[in-house]
Amino acid sequence: MRVLVVTAVAAEAAAVVADAGPPGAAAVPLPGGYALTRTPDYDVLVGGVGPAAAAAATATALAVADTPYGLVVSAGIGGGFPPHAPVGSLVVSDAVVAADLGADTADGFLPVDKLGFGRTVHPSPAGLSALVAAALGAAHAPVLTVSTVTGSAARAAELARRHPRAAAEAMEGFGVAEAAAAHGVPVVEIRAVSNAVGPRDRAAWRIGEALAALRKAFQQLAPVLQEQP
């Protein structure tokens, strides 16, 4: 099964390809100037930060693929919701959720599907995502997509109240999932937790630790995906 991995930035892509087996990694040019790196296990695309950039990049790669992908993985660092996902841990999605796509009303937030426009949840393939989570020792839970990094305890509490099982938040998953759904390809999101979702504290971010966890995750993931049809 061919797998497309979409990251936001080059450092996350480097973690994914770091342990590629022979013949190593090769650059594949794509329209729009996107950087796609091909290894024996994954095609890795740097899509940019945020859902719109991620959707545009994913749609481009899927549209020009010479052979179809069996799975798209949205991968990178992310914020963890205590106590589900401590810093340094991994989260594998059982669903990818657009957490701030909708309308703010006098009665609170209404997601866009409740407004009658589109969807806000993309379930991940249940068996495969559970298998991946078990193989990685990761939490298996919803991953939220936001367009603004949560920066206060009040916002974190509101998101947790609306999505009590959610273990992580990031900024690209739902964009990747929307593009993949348009091409009929399932999506799993894998996040290595760099920080706790809550009050903004740059000093508390552990990006290096999270990138190391991401690298190990994709080392462990390769044989699991090789066994998939």
Instruction: Give the interface with ligand LNDFFVEH as residue ranges (CB under 6 A).
Output: 8, 49, 76-79, 146, 149-150, 169-172, 194-195, 197, 200, 202, 205
Show the tokens assigned to 95: 């669903």
Amino acid at 65: A
Question: Please, what is the minimum distance in Å from the beta carbon of residue 179 to ligand LNDFFVEH?
Answer: 16
Question: Please, what is the minimum distance in Å from the beta carbon of residue 124 to ligand LNDFFVEH?
Answer: 17
Closer CB to ligand LNDFFVEH, 111 or 198, in the complex = 198
Minimal CB distance residue for ligand LNDFFVEH: 79
SS3 170: strand
Closest CA to 72 of 85, 60, 82: 60
CA distance 137 to 202: 27
Closer CB to ligand LNDFFVEH, 172 or 178, in the complex = 172
Residue 5: other Cβ atoms inside 10 A: 28
Closer CB to ligand LNDFFVEH, 87 or 131, in the complex = 87
**Which string of b and e fits 178-197 if b means at least 16 CB within 10 Å?**
bbbeebebbbbbbbbbbbbb
CA distance 181 to 176: 9
Question: Please, what is the minimum distance in Å from the beta carbon of residue 60 to ligand LNDFFVEH?
Answer: 18
Question: Please, what is the minimum distance in Å from the beta carbon of residue 205 to ligand LNDFFVEH?
Answer: 5
Closer CB to ligand LNDFFVEH, 131 or 179, in the complex = 179
Question: Please, what is the minimum distance in Å from the beta carbon of residue 19 to ligand LNDFFVEH?
Answer: 22
Closer CB to ligand LNDFFVEH, 170 or 188, in the complex = 170
126-136 vs 207-226: helix crossing angle, rounded to 10: 120
